[in-house]
Each structure stands twice: as structure tokens, then as C-alpha cells.
Chain A
Amino acid sequence: DGGITQSPKYLFRKEGQNVTLSCEQNLNHDAMYWYRQDPGQGLRLIYYSQIVNDFQKGDIAEGYSVSREKKESFPLTVTSAQKNPTAFYLCASSIGNSLNQPQHFGDGTRLSIL
């Protein structure tokens, strides 16, 4: 089945540790996105990528990093510089021209601090 797979479902981070969230899609979509969701709030854009080997900062990129070495993969690293990383992280993808195409979402990764 075509879709977006995020792993792990739950992740715990120790102080000063970097962690990486995985996002893989087999929809052959060009664009991929990372969002953060906090309780009672809408989603906020962290990073997005319209094409392989290119990505742009979203509204809350500080403390995060990404790579886009393959079309189907867009991993997100939460670095130790992110002081409040506890949140629900959602990955999405869309056909190249995202302005008129819907974004499709994975099931999310919940990150907590130990």
C-alpha cells in the first residue's frame, strides 16, 4: 500500500542528546514536510523540501535539522539546542506543486524528555 511511514511511534530523549525521527514515503511525491503539534494548538511547520537535495526552513526551524538525500526519505533530527522538544511530530508529503495538491500525513512520532 502507498503511504507515509513514520518511526518510531514513541521516542524518548535524554538531556543533551540528539535524536532522529524517520519519515519514508512510497507515493513518489516530490515535496515533504515536517510539522510539530503541541496540545491544543495547530500544526507548525519546521522544515520542508520541494526536491531532493534541497530544503527550506519553516516557521520554527531553530534546534532542528533535516536532510533530503533520497526522494522517499526526509529524516528530522531534534538537536540538543531544541530546549522544549516534547511534542507530536508529523511528516507529510505532496505531489510536486503543493499549492494545489493536498498534503498526506503519516501517523506521527511522539517525543518525550526523560
Chain B
Amino acid sequence: KQEVTQIPAALSVPEGENLVLNCSFTDSAIYNLQWFRQDPGKGLTSLLLIQSSQREQTSGRLNASLDKSSGRSTLYIAASQPGDSATYLCAVISAGGTSYGKLTFGQGTILTVHP
């Protein structure tokens, strides 16, 4: 069964700092990996989706990388702003096993960017 782990559980940084969020998954047989943002009491907003054949995706100040063989992904946020404060969730769509076709989520990283 696919399992997704995110480190750290919480992160607090000063405004302007570059930061990295980590995600690891136990089964490398995946179709894609997706990073989401969740604001308190809200639903999820998709940030980036990386197909299994891709190494990275970029959107503005966000860059996500994928190393499928080692079961790892990172989300890099450049020049962080207070508006980036939220919970960031990583999820994978599995290509095999009992988790086939399902989106499996990590528990999230709570990011706080203080002015």
C-alpha cells in the first residue's frame, strides 16, 4: 500500500527566504505527483502536477522536482511572502498495487512566513 510522508510537519521562516518542502513515497510506481495548497478551513488548490516521466515543473516562484526512482519530491518556494502561509500537501496517483489509480496524500507541511 502506498504511503506518503512529508517533512517537516511545520516550518516558520522570515519573509524573503527561499525554502524547500519535502515529500517521500514508498512505491515508485506512480502516474504523477501533485502539490496542493490548503488555506485554513478551505479546500485544496492545485499548485503543480508532475507526470511520472517528468523531472520538474515550475509555476512562478514555485518549482517542484520529482525523483521517481528514489521516491522523493521537493517543492521549492523562492522569495517567500506572508501570503504563502498555508498547509502544503503532496499526493501521488499510484500505478499499481492496492492503491492503483487512487490519490494518496501526505499529512502536509504547515508553512508560516512572518514579516
- The residues of A with any CB-CB pair to B shorter than 8 Å are 4, 6, 33, 40-45, 48, 58-59, 88, 90, 92, 98-100, 102-108, 110
Q: What is the CA–CA distance of A107 and B40 in the complex, to the nearest angstrom?
A: 10
10 residue pairs from A and B, CB less than 8 Å apart = A4-B43, A42-B107, A44-B105, A88-B41, A92-B44, A100-B32, A102-B49, A105-B36, A106-B43, A108-B42
Given contacts A106-B43, A108-B41, 5 further A-B contacts (CB under 8 A): A6-B43, A43-B105, A58-B102, A103-B46, A107-B42
Total chain B interface residues with beta-carbon distance under 8 A: 26
Query: Beyond A98-B93, A99-B31, A99-B93, is A45–B43 a contact (Cβ under 8 Å)?
Result: no
Q: What is the CA–CA distance of A40 and B47 in the complex, to the nearest angstrom?
A: 20
Instruction: Determine the residue in chain A with the shortest Cβ distance to B108.
Output: A42
Contact partners of A4 in chain B: CB under 8 A: 43
Contact partners of A59 in chain B: CB under 8 A: 102
Q: Are B103 and A45 in contact (CB under 8 A)?
A: yes
Q: Are B34 and A40 in contact (CB under 8 A)?
A: no
Contact of A105 among B9, B41, B43 (CB under 8 A): B43
Q: Are B41 and A40 in contact (CB under 8 A)?
A: no
State how many angstroms separate the Cβ of B76 from the closest Cβ of chain A: 20
**With an 8 A cutoff between CB atoms, is B45 at the interface?**
yes
Contact partners of A102 in chain B: CB under 8 A: 34, 46, 49
Instruction: Determine the residue in chain A with the shortest Cβ distance to B103.
Output: A103
**With an 8 A cutoff between CB atoms, is B63 at the interface?**
no
State how many angstroms separate the Cβ of A76 from the closest Cβ of chain B: 15
Contact partners of A98 in chain B: CB under 8 A: 93, 101, 103
Q: Are A42 and B4 in contact (CB under 8 A)?
A: yes
Query: Beyond A99-B31, A99-B93, A100-B51, is A105–B101 a contact (Cβ under 8 Å)?
Result: no
Q: What is the CA–CA distance of A93 and B104 in the complex, to the nearest angstrom?
A: 15
Contact partners of B101 in chain A: CB under 8 A: 98-99
Instruction: Determine the residue in chain B with the shortest Cβ distance to A48.
Output: B102
Contact of B89 among A43, A44, A106 (CB under 8 A): A43
State how many angstroms separate the Cβ of A13 from the closest Cβ of chain B: 19
Q: What is the CA–CA distance of A72 and B69 in the complex, to the nearest angstrom?
A: 38
